[in-house]
Amino acid sequence: MKTTYLLSVLLLGAFAFAGCSTPESRIARSPEVFAQLTPQQQALVKMGQVGVGFDMNAVKLALGEPDRITVRTDSKGQTQTWHYVEAAYYDGAYIYSSGYFGGMGRRSRMGMNAGFAPIPVTLMREFDRFRVDFVNNKVVGISEEMYR
């Protein structure tokens, strides 16, 4: 029984972290794309940041796949916007973003290894953490929304 429980916990942890993608893991999967960047761009990508002039592949290295894409057409042409969405949750005492807590409940006082306390949370709102605007495959604008 104890072994089955331990195995279940380990498998759950493996599934939870399997979807985690970092700039380092994305660079390791696409080293040829990373090698084509300038040293300044490489430094930004390693920090999970993007800059004006980046192409779409460089943005994917830094931030990952977008959650949503919109296209706007006006008299100047088309702009494609990549949205990186987060959510804010409230448990009556604290606000959590989906980026760290995932709305699962308050972290216990014993630290990360102790897991999450079973405190119900409520979705407050979703918001675009980052918006990256492209024209002709190049970044022309970056917006960052801070939740307050």
* pLDDT tens-digit series, residues 44-60: 999 999 999 999 999 99
* pLDDT tens-digit series, residues 82-123: 999 888 777 666 666 665 434 344 443 344 444 555 555 676
Residue 42 has pLDDT above 90, yes or no: yes
Residue 10 has pLDDT above 70, yes or no: no
Q: CB-based contacts of 33: which residues, under 8 Å, 6+ apart?
A: 57, 58, 61
User: And the tokens for 53?
Assistant: 């002039």
* C-beta atoms surrounding 123 within 10 Å: 11
Residue 138 has pLDDT above 60, yes or no: yes
- Per-residue pLDDT band at 5 (split at 50, 70, 90): very low
User: And the tokens for 3?
Assistant: 């072994």
Maximum distance among all alpha carbons in the chain? 67
Cα separation of 58 and 62, whole Å?
6
Q: Which domain holds residue 31?
A: 2-144
Residue 29 has pLDDT above 80, yes or no: yes
| Residue 63 near residue 50, CB atoms below 8 Å | yes
Count of structural domains, the chain: 1
